[in-house]
Amino acid sequence: MQLLLDLHPDAYPLSGYRRKQLLEWVFVHGVGEFSAMSNLPAGVRAELEAEYALNPFKLVETFRSTDGSVKYLFTLPDNRQMEAVYMPYLDRKTICVSTMVGCPAKCAFCATGALGFGRNLTAGEVVGQILAVARGEGLSPRDLRNLVFMGMGEPLLNYDATILAARILLHQDALGMSKRRVTLSTVGLPKGIRKLALEDDLGIKLAISLHAPDEETRQRIIPTGHANSILEIMASAREYQQVTGRRVTFEYAMLRGVNDSVWQAELLADLLRGLVSHVNLIPMNPWEGSGFEESTEQEMQAFYNVLEARGVEVSVRRSRGRDAGAACGQLALKQPGAVQAAAGA
Ligand code: SAH
């Protein structure tokens, strides 16, 4: 059965005010069933129900962190599992969505990478995470105003579905999110970054997971990164910045004794010279068996100071949801049989 959420809002069934009503039920009221759409005639509801699925997930479990973040674990129709994270802040509500089950990028410090690749999510399965989390939190989907593509998976390797999902969430008739509040995070794929800038200029923010300024270190922690040199990544970042006018964010997970030396901070500052950018230092979130440790506060501060002294815009991003397994790179289905579930076995 076709998932309704896989459709672009312009392609929704029904027309005129019936279409508006349907879109409102889905994206404003966030209902999970056609039967709840009380102002649609029973016959129309029955037809929709015969042709379309509305909610692609079963909610398995939520994990609540003491900082208010909530990790949602879902089962997909083919029994695979994946996760989304809700992060309430004082001034905004943010959702972190997955674009894949598992991930092929295999970053050495990332727990999702250790799961391997399951499959791509469809656009509707990406958008569905917003609706399901809103339902779980008793909110309208439109209350979730900030979105980051930073969950499981590499969005630029599931390009078409990610772009369609972004178009749906920006569309006025759907979620009506502001492009300034949507961030796509990528492991750093120059072709995809260029395509995003030149062919699908959605105006959304771009974050690049650089994590090291030198090839040797980067290839050690991002083994699939050898296909794209740091210089190519930087060139595509410059192009994205020039075409979109947006400041590019660079993510940098601080791994103790691996990428946190002063010389690496100096090299990073050199790479960023002349680029309107921002560096996010993220204390690495340790997980059992990763083989990496987070840098100490002093090491982070020293690294920060070097960047700041060289005029780099830099901040430290404290991950939320660490105690609920919901922090950056911790999404790894902390469940018995997780790897099999990711693989749909
Ligand atoms: N594939 C995309 C988006 C998902 S990962 C990407 O690579 O950007 C989101 C961010 O979390 C990335 O910057 C990733 O490198 C980071 N991350 C992964 N594991 C982490 C960990 N254990 N600690 C801190 N950050 C981590």
Q: What is the pLDDT of residues 53-84, one digit of tens each?
A: 999 999 989 999 999 999 999 999 999 999 99
Tell which wins on pLDDT, 289 or 272: 272
pLDDT attached to residue 209 = 98
Q: DSSP letters along 278-326, please?
A: EEEEEE----TT----BPPHHHHHHHHHHHHHTT--EEE-PPS-GGGT-
pLDDT of 333 above 70: no
Of the residues 96, 103, 107, 328, only one is catalytic, namely 328
| pLDDT band at residue 343 using 50, 70 and 90 as cut-offs | low
SS3 at position 257: coil
Distance (Å) from CA 253 to ligand 1 centroid: 8
pLDDT attached to residue 322 = 80
Residue with CA nearest ligand 1 atom 12: 209
| pLDDT band at residue 288 using 50, 70 and 90 as cut-offs | confident
DSSP state of 331: -
pLDDT of 342 above 80: no
Tell which wins on pLDDT, 149 or 286: 149
pLDDT attached to residue 247 = 96
| pLDDT band at residue 318 using 50, 70 and 90 as cut-offs | confident
Residues 126-132, mean pLDDT to the nearest whole number: 97
Q: Which two tokens stand for residue 178?
A: 């502001």
* Domains (range + CATH), the chain: 1-55 (1.10.150.530), 56-342 (3.20.20.70)
What mean pLDDT value characterizes the chain? 93
pLDDT attached to residue 287 = 87
pLDDT of 174 above 70: yes
pLDDT attached to residue 335 = 58
pTM (predicted TM-score): 0.95
Which single residue is written with the structure tokens 């990406």? 126
Residue with CA nearest ligand 1 atom 2: 186
Residues 144-150, mean pLDDT to the nearest whole number: 97
d(CA 25, CA 38): 9
Of the residues 24, 49, 83, 294, only one is catalytic, namely 83
Q: Which of 150, 278, 318 to mutate to test the pocket of ligand 1 (most atoms within 8 A of CB)?
A: 150
